[in-house]
Amino acid sequence: PLDVALFKPFSTAYSTELSNFMYNCQGISSITKRDFYRLFHRAWHTAFTKSNIEVGFEATGLSPLDAEVVLKRFKSKEVERSSSSESTTSVLSASDWRKIERLLRQVVEDVHNSRSRQLSQTIHTIAIQKQLLQHENERLRKALINEKKRR
């Protein structure tokens, strides 16, 4: 039952922990034994929960005892396709550049002329660059803190 309901969530949790670590360190820091154990420990506690263990026993039909659970896996299943919805996410919060854009529209008389559009695009680009730099600085600070902990 463990391989049914625990190792997949554990693998996913560990991959997430490792990805977050590498993202925060920007690949500058290597993983030490201490880092490995910390990441492993978090992933372990995320995946090996009472509910996941119970689901594993239920999924295999061991508790409560149910042979039909196993037999259902061998019956042909109809393939269902889920509709994929495009999600458009922005690096920026909705309030940053949009507030500036609204202010620009209030101040500029003709928002459709080429100079106004160029100014609007420049504001948008600068706002995005600002956000990216803030994220990079945050990750570099975390990497530096991680390096200091090792010494």
Number of Cβ within a 10 Å radius of residue 21: 19
Which residues of the chain fall short of a pLDDT of 50?
A: 78-92, 94
What is the value of pTM for the model shown? 0.48
Domain ranges of the chain: 1-72, 89-151
Transcribe 45-108 into DSSP letters.
Answer: HHHS-HHHHHHHHHHTTBTTB-HHHHHHTTS------PPP------SS-TTHHHHHHHHHHHH-
With CA atoms as reference, report the closest residue to 47 among 16, 91, 87: 16
Query: Per the structure block, which two tokens stand in for 92?
Result: 């920026």
Q: Token pair 């490995």 is at which residue?
A: 36
The predicted pLDDT at position 89 comes to 42
Query: Per the structure block, which two tokens stand in for 117?
Result: 């559009």
Rounded Cα gap, residues 112 and 58, in angstroms = 62
